[in-house]
A = this chain, B = another copy of it.
Amino acid sequence: MTHAFKVAVLGASGLVGRTMLQILEQRRFPVSELVPLASPRSAGRKVTFAGREYTVKAVSKEAFEGVDLALFSAGGGPSRQWAPVAAAAGALVVDNSSAFRMDPDVPLCVPEVNLEQARRPPKGIVANPNCSTIQLLVALAPLHREIPIRRIVVSSYQAVSGAGSRASECLVAQRRALAADEVPEPGAIGAVLEGDLLMQWTPDPVTGYQEEELKLIHESRKILGMPELMVSPTCVRVPVDTGHAEAVCVEFEAPMTPERARALLKAAPGVEVIDDLPAGVYPKPSMAAGRDPVLVGRIREDLGLAGGICLYVVADNLRKGAALNAIQIAESLLLS
């Protein structure tokens, strides 16, 4: 007999929330009762789980009664308000927002990288890292365990679904407009992304960086337990629906070879090496979308830094970048 869990999903009708429901089902997570929740604005929507339709209820204190696992993906505000409530009701909260990521009493977890840090979370809350951090560290942690990393230079090519379902629909509308020789509307994206490149994340006036870029720095440092880790990030939104790509150059404390890096990555959990450029084989967003592994290719000597390595990392930003990683955290803490 296996134990089954009462699972609440806050933000159940959003893009990540719906992906969470799919993944709970695909992975046969033992759900005794599902409680799909949302802000009052989104309550009343329908979601499907295990062949049954559910009406999403407005989040409330009562909704968390008896809940064992609460998966949160409704944004920072709802997380700040409701995560402590769910945790006080006895639930393990896995929060996909940025609300608690830098809280020293909240573990920030990529199961392949730092699961031990997530055991017995002091506040009953474990934070799920940002999409671009997760895939970067799944690819780099196996190398870092072999030879410590000193510096990471990372340029992202980020898909629009990271900005939610309205942004995703907006890109489709912009594509249709351009295909019909009409002028595309900025819509939910706030600018024309189709046929262009954007940098629309919240700017930090002090550093001149986008918050998305600062997350790559601070989350990587926390997860790897390296407050001094040097990270040079640039984040760019590209007209792709799903699948973030990252061009990465890494400097190590001692020389790393491409052969050693490739062997480490082939043996690494959560990684699939897709790397035969002469045969035209390299990772693409279209290959990652809908799949679980972090795809790594272009593993090569850094011609600009002796002993360094460059690689290209692509993953489904909704799955490993959000919903899958959150559920893997829950599996690791509740099922094993």
Chain A residues at the B interface, C-beta cutoff of 8 Å: 151-153, 155, 157, 172, 175-176, 178-180, 192, 194-200, 203, 205, 207-210, 217, 230-234, 236, 238-241, 245, 247, 249, 258, 277-278, 280, 282, 284-286, 298-305, 308, 310, 312
Residue pair B304, A151 in contact (C-beta under 8 Å) = yes
A194 to chain B, nearest CB (A): 8
The 9 closest A-B pairs by CB, nearest first: A232-B304, A155-B155, A179-B179, A234-B247, A208-B300, A155-B247, A230-B304, A203-B277, A176-B179
Residue pair B176, A258 in contact (C-beta under 8 Å) = no
Q: In the complex, which residues of chain B have a beta carbon less than 8 angstroms from the beta carbon of A284?
A: 196-198
A229 to chain B, nearest CB (A): 9
Q: In the complex, which residues of chain B have a beta carbon less than 8 angstroms from the beta carbon of A240?
A: 195-197, 239
The interface residues of chain A, by DSSP majority, are classed as: mixed
Residue pair B301, A199 in contact (C-beta under 8 Å) = no
A199-B277, A284-B196, A300-B209 known; A245 and B236 CB under 8 Å?
A: yes
A76→B230 CA distance, assembly (Å): 42
A199-B277, A207-B303 known; A239 and B239 CB under 8 Å?
A: yes
A239→B175 CA distance, assembly (Å): 11
Residue pair A234, B157 in contact (C-beta under 8 Å) = no
Residue pair A232, B155 in contact (C-beta under 8 Å) = no
A153-B249, A205-B278, A208-B298 known; A303 and B199 CB under 8 Å?
A: no
Given contacts A175-B175, A203-B277, A239-B239, 7 further A-B contacts (CB under 8 A): A153-B232, A172-B179, A199-B312, A208-B258, A208-B299, A230-B304, A231-B304
A179-B176, A209-B303 known; A312 and B234 CB under 8 Å?
A: yes
Residue pair A217, B155 in contact (C-beta under 8 Å) = no
A284→B186 CA distance, assembly (Å): 15
